[in-house]
Amino acid sequence: MEKKTDRDFSLQAVPQSHRNGFWRMLVVMLGFTFFSASMLSGGTLGLGLTMGEFIVAVLAGNLILGAYTGALAYIAAKTGLSTHLLTRYAFGEKGSYLSSFLLSGTQIGWFGVGVAMFAVPVQKVTGADTYLLIAVAGLLMTATAFFGMKALAILSFIAVPAIAVLGGFSAFEALGDLGGMAALMDYQPKESLGMAAALTICVGSFISGGTLTPDFARFANTKRNAVLTTVLAFFIGNSLMFFFGAIGAIATGQSDISEVMFLQGLILPAIIVLGLNIWTTNDNALYASGLGISNITKIKKSKVVIFNGIIGTVMAMWLYNNFVGFLTILGAALPPIGAIIIADYFILNRGKYRSFENMKFKSVNWLALTAWGAAVMIAKFAPGIPPLNGILGAAFIYTVLGFAANRVTVAGRLEMEEVTEA
């Protein structure tokens, strides 16, 4: 009977007996935030801001990300549910399929992009065949994602210190080339970047992935550990990625720390850092995509993840060349999903959900879908910071619609009671 247990708990809450403590959750969440795209974003910020402005933008952006993901982490630890199962409460069972499809499709796309992001620069340096590198990298990354949270934890325990140490050494070398910390603090950008644009880049680089925080935070043994490790991961891991990217861009014109290492002649460390950084990101992406497709198909995540990994690997080069623009569009579509979960749990349900096993879900909650659609439009067209606009818009519209619907329901019930008494 034990053999049939779904260790990933794809379609049920994670029991307390399978929860993890502070340190294991911290390294998993750090591995989650050690994201290659954050270094690229950090390079853009570094070239467009003074160092003082850069620090303010990164801290403010991570504060927004930390508040958003921390709230989702709390709900996940309280319920033991993944993002995809949580969406059933707000969107309805079949309504949740839309969010699961969007989130999973995005993560499969990122997986393919990540595999190619590893293979292309390594091919340039080593001369190895690009498609062989893609096949080997895709296979290894799919294998560790197949084994679930235990494999993610082991990989993160190896990758997080290695990336921090080797990346830190490279950044220290680049800092020396610049003339030290004083020269870095005196740096003046050739073309200035506005703070609103900087925050959009900082928040937008990870807000879509942050929506999947519950997929990992549900394994925390306490709500405190879930929130604390999530928020710390963003302020440490994400800030470190931005800092590496900024220093590399200012010193060499390259924002990816692995590219900086290639220029510094640190070939083997560059391949190690590049590989581990993308591996942790891709494993989290593939793991989350498996949970999403599992919510739709009711097939265990461990089986789905193999299929998703094959799709991402086969399409890696096409995704690398074509998918990033599409992912940018999805950046407006995904954050409102998390905002609706937060509003549904904390405001409309006052911090309490009926247990997943005993819950009878609606088929589709059109109020949630309406709020989501409106929030996507707000994120896309309203002035300001698009991801934040989407989050605030979704939470506000869904809350107003929810309270209005409850009032109509209560009024109808009272009217029925009066008719019955008469």
Q: What is the mean pLDDT of residues 157-165?
A: 87
Distance CA 244, CA 45 (A): 11
66 assigned to some structural domain: yes
Q: What is the mean pLDDT of residues 300-321?
A: 90
Per-residue pLDDT of 39-93, as tens digits, reads 888 888 988 999 999 999 999 999 999 999 999 999 999 999 999 999 999 999 9
Q: What is the mean pLDDT of residues 334-352?
A: 95
70 assigned to some structural domain: yes
Q: Looking at the predicted structure, is the pLDDT value of residue 417 above 70?
A: no
Sign of the C-alpha dihedral, residues 194, 342, 302, 106? negative
6 assigned to some structural domain: no
Q: Looking at the predicted structure, is the pLDDT value of residue 323 above 80?
A: no
Given a contact cutoff of 8 angstroms between Cβ atoms, the answer to whether 304 and 288 are in contact is: no
Q: pLDDT value at position 412?
A: 52
Window from 3-7, 43-47, 349-353 with minimum mean pLDDT: 3-7
Give the CA diameter of the chain.
88
3-state secondary structure of 345: helix
282 assigned to some structural domain: yes
Q: What is the mean pLDDT of residues 364-379?
A: 95
Q: pLDDT value at position 212?
A: 93
Q: What is the mean pLDDT of residues 395-402?
A: 96
SS3 per-residue string spanning 118-148: HHHHHHHHHCCCHHHHHHHHHHHHHHHHHCH
Give the angle subtended at the CA of 184 by the CAs of 180 and 188, to the nearest 5°: 145
For residues 401 and 126, which has the higher predicted lDDT (pLDDT)?
401
Per-residue pLDDT of 84-119, as tens digits, reads 999 999 999 999 999 999 999 888 988 998 899 889
Given a contact cutoff of 8 angstroms between Cβ atoms, the answer to whether 212 and 288 are in contact is: yes
User: How many domains would you assign to the chain?
Assistant: 1
120 assigned to some structural domain: yes
Q: Looking at the predicted structure, is the pLDDT value of residue 342 above 90?
A: yes
Q: Looking at the predicted structure, is the pLDDT value of residue 233 above 50?
A: yes
Given a contact cutoff of 8 angstroms between Cβ atoms, the answer to whether 43 and 241 are in contact is: no
The CATH number for 59's domain is 1.10.4160.10
187 assigned to some structural domain: yes
The residue range of the domain holding 276 is 15-421
1 assigned to some structural domain: no
Per-residue pLDDT of 248-298, as tens digits, reads 888 888 777 777 778 888 888 888 888 888 898 889 899 999 999 999 998
2 assigned to some structural domain: no
| pLDDT tier, 220 (very low <50, low <70, confident <90, very high otherwise) | very high
Give the angle subtended at the CA of 78 by the CAs of 400 and 108, to the nearest 5°: 80
- Region of residue 175 (phi > 0: left; psi between -120 and 50: alpha; otherwise: beta): alpha
| pLDDT tier, 2 (very low <50, low <70, confident <90, very high otherwise) | very low
Distance CA 170, CA 90 (A): 46
Q: How far is CA 243 from CA 172, 195, 270, 341, 380, in A?
A: 11, 17, 17, 31, 28
- pTM (2 d.p.): 0.90
The 8-class DSSP code of residue 298 comes to -
